[in-house]
Amino acid sequence: MTKMLPVAWYEFRMQIRKRSLWITIVLITGLLAVARSGMGPRYASAPPGASAREVMARWAFLFAVLLPIGFGMVLADRLIRDRRLRTTELLTSLPTGVGGQLGGKYLGSIAATGTPALLAMLAAAGYEAVRRGDVAMVPWAVVAFATVLLPGLAFVAGFALACPLVLTTPLFRVLFVGYWFWGNTLLPETLPTLTGSLLTPNASYPTSWLLGTTVNYAGIPGPLSFLRPAPTGATAAASIVLLVVVGLLPLAVAGLLQTRRRAA
């Protein structure tokens, strides 16, 4: 872990300065904030008198609709750029090795893309604190970010960093957008989909736990119904763990391929 930290810090500093990252987050969060009233009751503003927990959970669930798409678009060319600039071989020869390099880039990427997302949540918390007169919005914004937005970001980051090494960046971006709407917004009654399951990056299970109600599709029969148990604290935690673990798998494969290529 200590070997990853310098790589992660370098990656964070480099990415946090990218204008495209900030422009993407500002545009998406602004669009969602303006359009939320027409997106249906699942994304509507919390009613008057609602707890800070519910208010900020609803904001996090709203941002989780599209923010991960922006994360994926921004991160998709990160490792490809290293290959294009011929710095991959140099980096893998450092004491950190292939695993330290990929792990550091993964952590730095999550930190860099997560920072504006957290700031968006804090901005929403400030707005709600003034509007509702409840300063508890701020700590609950951090909790909602950590449980709703961050696991999805960790999931997306692993695939966005590794998959373009095989698919090319433009193809990955097209497929990723298609996957996102298939696996996060398509109704399970329509076609087999991961929507509302433990593997849904828009974090319907953690949101259900925070809200104390169901915002997923638990109990719907179908070939993937086993991935939609009743929402509880345990299933919310299981969803978070699964998203992080599955997001690490493509990085592990990329590290193995780079190690074999280096050995050959």
Q: Which is more confidently placed, 71 or 190?
A: 71
Token digits of residue 212 = 């104390």
Query: pLDDT grade, residue 84 (50/70/90)?
Result: low
**C-alpha span between 106 and 7 (Å, rounded):** 9
- Mind listing the pLDDT tens digit for each residue in 195-223? 888 888 888 888 888 887 766 666 666 67
**C-alpha span between 110 and 66 (Å, rounded):** 16
Token digits of residue 259 = 């190690």
Query: pLDDT grade, residue 88 (50/70/90)?
Result: low
Would you say the pTM of this structure is higher than 0.85?
yes
Q: With the C-alpha atoms ordered 230, 236, 240, 241, is the resulting torsion angle positive or negative?
A: negative
Domain-wise residue ranges, the chain: 4-263
**C-alpha span between 132 and 129 (Å, rounded):** 5
Give the side-chain half-sphere CA count within 13 A for 216. 34
> Has residue 193 got a pLDDT over 90?
no
Residue 146 phi, psi dihedral angles, 5° rounding: -70, -35
Q: Which is more confidently placed, 74 or 1?
A: 74
| Mean pLDDT of the 80-99 span | 62
Token digits of residue 170 = 């433009």
- Mind listing the pLDDT tens digit for each residue in 129-180? 999 999 999 999 999 999 999 999 999 999 999 898 888 889 999 999 999 9
Other beta carbons within 10 Å of 228: 24
Amino acid residing at 190: T
Asked if residue 247 lies in contact with residue 155, where contact means CB atoms within 8 angstroms, the answer is yes
Q: DSSP letter for 39, please.
A: S
Lowest mean pLDDT among 11-15, 72-76, 227-231, 246-250: 227-231
